[in-house]
Structure 1
Amino acid sequence: MLRIESIAFICREIEETARKSEMYLQNLISSRIKDLQELKTVCDRCLNSQRWSGNVSLMILDAAFTSVGVNYFQVVVAKVKAFEAEFVKTGRISSLSCLAHFDYKEAFHIWKNSRSWNVVKEIAKYFSELSNNDKESLRTWAKNSSLADWKNDPIGKIKGVGLVTYQYLRMMGGIDTVMPDKVVKKVINEILTKAGKMTVYDDMEFIREVETLANKTGYRPIELCFMAWFTENSEKIEQMP
């Protein structure tokens, strides 16, 4: 009888410890998100394919340039804005079809990475063949895309497109998920460690972990993703294009 009571006591202790850990985890995330007043708006805009004022060509540039690993606000945003000013606002690039046939050497003074430009052109080419409506093409692809089979996806097969770029495009196409880039992993794993949970580094496992975490805490995966982006740059959230 005593042994049964001891086991029951241990079980209750384990359950209580787990409950406290979950509450602490919730508080850790909530405390970070409450300081990001524009987070929901930024996430909604992304899921509605309204990044860069709804210009899909610029979203593709954003995703391709971001994959290089440079500072997002200091480098990527500045370079995409420069391209927008010189080629989009002047009417040179008015659609994905234009972007697919663009001679990127004309924009080498803005961005010199040929791999990025090849990624841009291949993505633009594929999307432009899906529909005459750029946003519809992006959202149709995203809706039919798969995380599990991403390497066999037409976009995933493009040389230079990794899982981070793939996930980023899916998010801008309306899929509520997360991209496993180094910043997001760093912040989320710091939170998991503080809550006494195991860190996760494998990309696919990390995505699933964040989606599970979102479900437990009541936030959307995309909110946890962008929360991580803005944790150390909360003042930059208003600059998110």
Structure 2
Amino acid sequence: MAELSDIVDEYMTKTTGLKKFCDRCLRTQRWNGNIVLMVVDAAFDSIGLNYFNSIVPKVVEFEEAFVEGVMVKNLKDLSELPHERVKNIWANERSWNVANSVASHLHELGQERGLSDRGALREWARDASPKDWKQDPIGRIRGVGLTTYQYLRMMGGVDTAMPDKIVKRVVEEILDKAEVEMPTSGDFEFIKTVDRIAEISGFRPIDICWMTWLVQSEGDKIRMKKYRDVLDRI
């Protein structure tokens, strides 16, 4: 098991500054703490486009058009914003429905429990279970898979991982190098495997999850170096 820890260390040494970013995520402070932008980020990301090249620029464009203009101040406003108003920025109607529906549920939860938007996201994330995600009101939203569900939980302060294809590929690569067998085929089992690797290596599941994306190469740089300034913003 020491070998597995050493291999994880090798990957992590490539991602200087990752802990700071993950700490901010767990404090629900991504996008300068704007819950609307976190929900929009997760909704846009639900269709599997390149995160840094496709999703982040569109979230920024949405921010400039609707958030900075104070048209969308909170989750209630987001839940009521029709696709027709944003389709020049984001054409995919199904993923926009994800944004509307997640915002609606979290707003209603906040109203019921006397919570701010941030408090509602954090309380939902704390109580939500990946094992029973399909029974969760957010898990039942068309277009919300387990990866999006887990992504929202992470931004809501839960130290966990997503069963994203890149995360799986890198984790399987690490396990192969260490000659360690752990389940990775089932999504829920994979999340537990990341928990186990975190326990062994001394890193957090969220650190391992984000590391797998940020060690990917784009051009002559890994994403951690190429998008360092973007990470500081989001």
TM (norm. structure 1) is 0.88
Return the alpha-carbon distance in structure 2 between the equivalents of residues 51 and 172 of structure 1: 7
Give the AA of the match of 1:147.
Answer: P
Structure 2 equivalent of residue 162 of structure 1: 145
- CA shift, 1:197, in A, is 2.3
Return the alpha-carbon distance in structure 1 between the equivalents of residues 32 and 24 of structure 2: 9
Moved more, 114-123 or 104-113: 104-113
What is the count of residue pairs matched by the alignment? 220
> Which consecutive unaligned segments of at least 5 residues does structure 1 have?
1-21
Return the alpha-carbon distance in structure 2 between the equivalents of residues 182 and 68 of structure 1: 13
Return the alpha-carbon distance in structure 2 between the equivalents of residues 238 and 221 of structure 1: 23
**Alpha-carbon displacement from aligned partner over 1:45-76 (angstroms, at most 9, x marks no partner):** 00000011111111111111112111100000
Structure 1 equivalent of residue 52 of structure 2: 73
Listed as ranges, the matches of 1:102-181 within 5 Å are 102-131=81-110, 133-181=116-164
Return the alpha-carbon distance in structure 2 between the equivalents of residues 178 and 86 of structure 1: 31
What secondary structure is seen at the aligned counterpart in 2 of 1:84? helix
- CA shift, 1:148, in A, is 1.5
Listed as ranges, the matches of 1:36-55 within 5 Å are 36-55=15-34
What secondary structure is seen at the aligned counterpart in 2 of 1:130? helix
Identify which of 56, 64, 81 aligns with 2:35: 56
Return the alpha-carbon distance in structure 1 between the equivalents of residues 210 and 90 of structure 2: 25
User: Is contact 1:39–1:237 with CA below 8 Å preserved after alignment?
Assistant: no
Structure 2 equivalent of residue 201 of structure 1: 185
Return the alpha-carbon distance in structure 1 between the equivalents of residues 82 and 46 of structure 2: 21
What secondary structure is seen at the aligned counterpart in 2 of 1:90? coil
- CA shift, 1:201, in A, is 2.2
Query: Runs of 4+ in structure 1 displaced over 2 angstroms?
Result: none
Return the alpha-carbon distance in structure 2 between the equivalents of residues 130 and 205 of structure 1: 29
Cα RMSD over matched residues? 1.1
- CA shift, 1:168, in A, is 0.3
TM (norm. structure 2) is 0.91
Q: Please tell me whether Structure 1 or Structure 2 has the larger radius of gyration of its CA atoms.
A: 1
**Alpha-carbon displacement from aligned partner over 1:85-135 (angstroms, at most 9, x marks no partner):** 000001010000000000121111111101001111000000111225110
Structure 2 equivalent of residue 219 of structure 1: 203
- CA shift, 1:35, in A, is 2.3
What secondary structure is seen at the aligned counterpart in 2 of 1:52? helix
Matched, 1:90 2:80: no
Return the alpha-carbon distance in structure 1 between the equivalents of residues 133 and 159 of structure 2: 16
